[in-house]
Structure 1
Amino acid sequence: MKQLIVHCGPDSTQMALLEEGKLVEYAAERSQKRGLVGSFFKGKVMNVIPGMQAAFVDIGQKKNAFLYIDDLLHPHLEKQPKQKPPISDLLKPGQELILQVVKEAIGNKGARVTTHYSLPGRWLVYMPSAGYVAVSKKIGQEEERSRLREIGEELRTPEEGLILRTVAEYAEKEAVAEDLAQLREQWGTILLKGEQASAPAALHHDLSMVQRLMRDVYSPATDELIMDCPEQAGEATAFLAAMLQGKQPNVRIYKADIPLFDYYGIKQQLDKDFQRKVWLPGGGYLVWDTTEALTVIDVNTGKFTGGDNLEDTVFRTNVEAAREIARLVRLRDTGGIIIVDFIDMSSEHHRTAVCDTLEASLNGDRTQHHILGWTKLGLLEMTRKRMREQPIFLGDD
């Protein structure tokens, strides 16, 4: 069971996701500052940099957006030229084109944009010109994967691309078709606005933070949405009812005197989980350091002495740490290169088990990630896609 807890303050909205009562995601969105990832713009090319195979494009934000050659070529790898052409052959200063933001502006860097357009719906991701069908890797049964792939091939036109999402497992063909029709209509509206607008111009903004989460994870059979703002709760109910095609969503308005995040223990948990030093349930602890280039997590036994011998103590601490690291990288939305310094283990079987535990614990993470394995120095390497600034707990807003 999942609980989506939403607190609406005067200047921001904060969201926490609980799975079986455990905090796994947190996000905050300022009322006057909405994220750009997923949004479409008509941009004007300002500079083409042949040496970088990239261009800087004005999309109407404070910093020019960055467009790399790979994001300009055909989205289907098989239809790209074997040798990349010079970007100066494809773009000229002053040229206007429709772009989608795939990565927020972070620090001194502007947003990263692409022409590999994608529009996420409830059951699928629609790519107007990708030319292929894919099925979420998290759908394990080959028979169901084949069924969804056949549905996708039957519904799409030759130039279109579709990705059937994890939640599409066992979805009816009619529901997928209706989702596709809505996304095609949305894309048509973006193209029409693009024809009429002068660059730079915003063409389409993605859903709000709360709506994205409802679209991506909410299941009416098991999940509950709890909000302390009646007006937004009404909007959320209408959004879910439309998305779920008549199924009654479970939305509850919280009215108690105790602040919502305090009642569910979220504030206290956030205070602990965003510290540099995070204690593990068994007495060990993690030390979490983030630099511009990467995140380093150090695992320590601390007060944990529960094993029968040193190797057993180390192994049990590392397994507990792997589960907690998986939860925390998702909660903190940690992206980029992540290095974990687990406590040294002499058993190869234990090393494999710790890596497998981390992989299994990351199954619920919707953000793309990849565990690369152990280095020669005994460190575990992984990457996780970074699209936004890491969240900052706003406290009582």
Structure 2
Amino acid sequence: MTRRKRRRWGILPAESKDSLGAANRDAGVESPGAAASLIQDDSAPLAPEPKVFKELLVNYEPHESRLAILEAGQLVEFYIEHDDEDQSAGNIYKGKVENVLPGMRAAFVNLGLEKNGFLYVDDAHAEERDHKKSRPIQDVLKVGQDIVVQIVKESIGSKGARVTTNISLPGRYLVLTPYSETVGVSRRIESERERERLRSIAEKIRPKGMGLIVRTVAESASQKALIRDLTYLRRMWTRIKHKARVVRSPALLHREASLIARTIRDHLDESVDRFVIDDEQAYYRAKEIAETISPTLKGRIELDNGVVPLFELRGVEAELDRAVKRRVWLKCGGYLVIDETEALTVIDVNTGKNVGSIDLSDTVLATNKEAAIEIARQLRLRDISGIVIVDFIDMENEADQTDVLKTFQRALRHDRTRVTVLGLTRLGLLEMTRKKVRESLLNQLTRVCPQCEGRGHVLSEEVIARRLRQRIIERLKESGVEALLLEANPAVASHLIGPGGTNLKELERNTGRAVYVRGNDECAMEDIHFIKVGTREEVERLGIPVHEGQVLDVVVQERHASNAKDGIARLEGYVLDIEDAGDRIGEVVHVEVIRALRTFSTARIIPDKENGSDQHGGHEVNQDVKRDTVPLTDEKSYSHMLPPAGPDV
């Protein structure tokens, strides 16, 4: 469906009341006061959403563990941990300052890792944050100075990990901040009475000179439980300080908890219905940790030892495959296009197949609302962070615009990562940011394409064929031989041959040599393999693997591209056009070669005689043809290698 002409969504001036920001803050989502907002009413806070069935699934493989979080059977978050990773967010190091960069107001810290940590001046001395103007970095840090830092953002791409001196140690109910005296309560705890109770307890038990943050899971927790958690964190900090005094920099002082321990600490709460682990040793370890951290929830941990792998059984593997694709289909028939770049992520909403049977504006509204919910899920699942721009389908009705943004806001409530909604640009694009902690799922599960080097585009077959043609000419000039047999990707090979063999004839005319071209699926688009150089007779024996009158048993692989009545088989990349075999795809047929050319041969089906004999006194079963046959599910086609009507080649 064609996109509608863009109109500006109605926006409030910057000085208008930011009721969206207030609602977002209630939902645990930040929105700056200066951001433009569509929501102008003072409606009540969003009602709690109905309880959904929530599961934690942990898969253990050699040297790797994975966590999948499912809500109502749908994958919403995914984490992966490798045994050899040392740069997990939360690790604490004793580092050594290697470079101080006044112009960048930052320093590089040697952590003993492959890349140095990057320390901003505002992260180098937490006590300066309350001042309007922080001190210059050169007054805070010196080259060669030892410093205790914590990773807050993992190394991504060419950038080293971002670190801070403002250490924080998370427990089950509390986060201990040894270098800050601030007391805070999670914004996700909405009851003011409960917030005040927890704040009062935190102020009472807070160690002198330190700060505490009360986590969401602490809601309704007793003072005794908070004190027990704080005692554990203080012991941890004592061990870290002692190790920092006795070891030489750079050194790891504290490793963030393992995936299984983090899962229990950060995710296992009353909202979780099942916690399934597919490894027996990890299962018993989880039981032990839960006994200490959350004994009342220990019974929800289960062991899965089924024959079918856990992630495959629950559809996680299939969902991960979809999570790295650009296009995300919506149930209504619309779709999202998600493009992650170095600078930002752009999400485009399209109506797609959803033409609707109602008013156009209602169709657009329904698509946008479904898209808003799916975008919130994709942000969590793909761990997309940094700047995010969302291009919803244009809406003229301001009430519809408000409805979509409220739907989006409600869906973002499930996101544990800090999200800041900035409002709408003058072009009607929704701006937002999501805190960056680690690489996105796309970067964790994929690598840059070696062919296009991450551009998302490769050279066309015509351009590649033109370049390879020059390589062929150079090779023929160097060797001085009569003939050459080469293999190329089928799509490129068809362009080397040309319609009716015209390109191949032109190449032979320019070089005075015979050239035989064969398609090979295993060849990369830009590769060419020289199989044989020699006399014309030697090369022809390899280049034309059949002869007129030869009888073969072959498998029909596909229809002819331009003549649907015919079928196609192949022998080591050499094309066999079988007359009237278009309806026999996948069948083994008994054929006779009636014409053998350099780029393809033509064959006809002959009836089998009793005991496998025929008018030629028997037939030959060509095992090479069967062995080289493409499976029926293979989407690659060799039909285009057959020259259309024209001179024989």
CA contact (8 A) 2:87 2:151 kept: no
Structure 1 residues 17, 73: closer, same or farther in 2, change over 3 A? Answer: same
- 1:69 aligns to 2:125 (yes or no): no
Deviations 1:87-131 (A, max 9, x none): 111111110011101011111111111011100111111101211
Q: Amino acid of the residue matched to residue 85 of structure 2?
A: K
Q: Amino acid of the residue matched to residue 104 of structure 2?
A: M
Written as runs of structure 1 = structure 2, the 5 A alignment for 1:23-34 is 23-34=75-86
Alignment partner, residue 373 of structure 1: 423
2:347 alignment partner, SS class: strand
1:248 alignment partner, SS class: helix
Alignment partner, residue 289 of structure 1: 339
Q: Amino acid of the residue matched to residue 389 of structure 2?
A: I
State which drifts further: 241-250 or 257-266.
241-250
Q: Equivalents in 2 of 1:139, 1:368: separation in Å?
A: 15
Deviations 1:141-175 (A, max 9, x none): 11111111101101103421111111111111110
Alignment partner, residue 584 of structure 2: none
- 1:176 aligns to 2:226 (yes or no): yes
- 1:109 aligns to 2:159 (yes or no): yes
Deviations 1:174-208 (A, max 9, x none): 10111111101101110000001110000001112
Identity of aligned residues (%): 47
Alignment partner, residue 72 of structure 2: 20
Q: Equivalents in 2 of 1:170, 1:259: separation in Å?
A: 38
Q: Equivalents in 2 of 1:360, 1:77: separation in Å?
A: 32
Structure 1 residues 245, 261: closer, same or farther in 2, change over 3 A? Answer: closer
Alignment partner, residue 97 of structure 2: 45
Tell me the CA shift for residue 222 of structure 1. 4.4
CA contact (8 A) 1:43 1:201 kept: yes
1:63 alignment partner, SS class: coil
Q: Equivalents in 2 of 1:76, 1:236: separation in Å?
A: 41
Tell me the CA shift for residue 255 of structure 1. 1.7
Alignment partner, residue 440 of structure 2: 390
Q: Equivalents in 1 of 2:300, 2:270: separation in Å?
A: 6
CA contact (8 A) 2:55 2:272 kept: no
Alignment partner, residue 323 of structure 1: 373
Which entry has the higher C-alpha Rg, 1 or 2?
A: 2
State which drifts further: 301-310 or 243-252.
243-252
Q: Amino acid of the residue matched to residue 61 of structure 1?
A: L
Structure 1 residues 246, 261: closer, same or farther in 2, change over 3 A? Answer: closer
Q: Equivalents in 2 of 1:270, 1:69: separation in Å?
A: 39
Deviations 1:47-84 (A, max 9, x none): 11111111111010111111110001225743xx3322
Q: Equivalents in 2 of 1:236, 1:35: separation in Å?
A: 23
1:298 alignment partner, SS class: strand
CA contact (8 A) 1:135 1:145 kept: yes
Q: Amino acid of the residue matched to residue 366 of structure 2?
A: R
CA contact (8 A) 2:122 2:128 kept: no
* CA root-mean-square deviation: 1.6
Q: Equivalents in 1 of 2:409, 2:87: separation in Å?
A: 29
State which drifts further: 372-381 or 383-392.
383-392
CA contact (8 A) 1:220 1:248 kept: no
CA contact (8 A) 1:28 1:394 kept: no
- 1:231 aligns to 2:281 (yes or no): yes
- 1:122 aligns to 2:149 (yes or no): no
Deviations 1:263-300 (A, max 9, x none): 11111222223211010111110001010010000000
Tell me the CA shift for residue 136 of structure 1. 0.7
Alignment partner, residue 152 of structure 1: 202
Structure 1 residues 77, 49: closer, same or farther in 2, change over 3 A? Answer: closer
CA contact (8 A) 1:34 1:208 kept: no
Tell me the CA shift for residue 210 of structure 1. 3.1
Tell me the CA shift for residue 301 of structure 1. 0.5
2:98 alignment partner, SS class: strand
Alignment partner, residue 358 of structure 2: 308
Structure 1 residues 253, 85: closer, same or farther in 2, change over 3 A? Answer: same
Alignment partner, residue 362 of structure 1: 412
Written as runs of structure 1 = structure 2, the 5 A alignment for 1:221-300 is 222-245=272-295, 248-300=298-350
Q: Amino acid of the residue matched to residue 413 of structure 2?
A: N
Q: Equivalents in 1 of 2:337, 2:199: separation in Å?
A: 44
Q: Equivalents in 2 of 1:221, 1:274: separation in Å?
A: 28
Aligned residue pairs, count: 393
Q: Equivalents in 1 of 2:393, 2:306: separation in Å?
A: 45
CA contact (8 A) 1:335 1:385 kept: yes
State which drifts further: 330-339 or 27-36.
27-36
Tell me the CA shift for residue 220 of structure 1. 5.6
Alignment partner, residue 143 of structure 1: 193
Deviations 1:223-276 (A, max 9, x none): 311111101111111111111146533221112211211211111222223211
CA contact (8 A) 2:122 2:129 kept: no
CA contact (8 A) 1:28 1:391 kept: no
Tell me the CA shift for residue 9 of structure 1. 1.4
Tell me the CA shift for residue 379 of structure 1. 0.4
CA contact (8 A) 1:76 1:130 kept: no
5+ unaligned residues in a row in structure 1: which ranges? Answer: none
Structure 1 residues 247, 388: closer, same or farther in 2, change over 3 A? Answer: closer
2:152 alignment partner, SS class: strand
Structure 1 residues 75, 361: closer, same or farther in 2, change over 3 A? Answer: farther
State the TM-score, normalizing by the size of structure 2. Answer: 0.59
Q: Equivalents in 2 of 1:252, 1:281: separation in Å?
A: 32
Q: Equivalents in 1 of 2:302, 2:411: separation in Å?
A: 29
Between 1 and 2, higher relative CO (CA 8 Å, sep ≥ 6) is seen in 1
Alignment partner, residue 7 of structure 2: none
Q: Equivalents in 2 of 1:171, 1:76: separation in Å?
A: 33
Tell me the CA shift for residue 8 of structure 1. 1.1
2:290 alignment partner, SS class: helix
What stretches of structure 1 move > 4 A for 4+ residues in a row? Answer: 392-395
Q: Amino acid of the residue matched to residue 273 of structure 1?
A: A
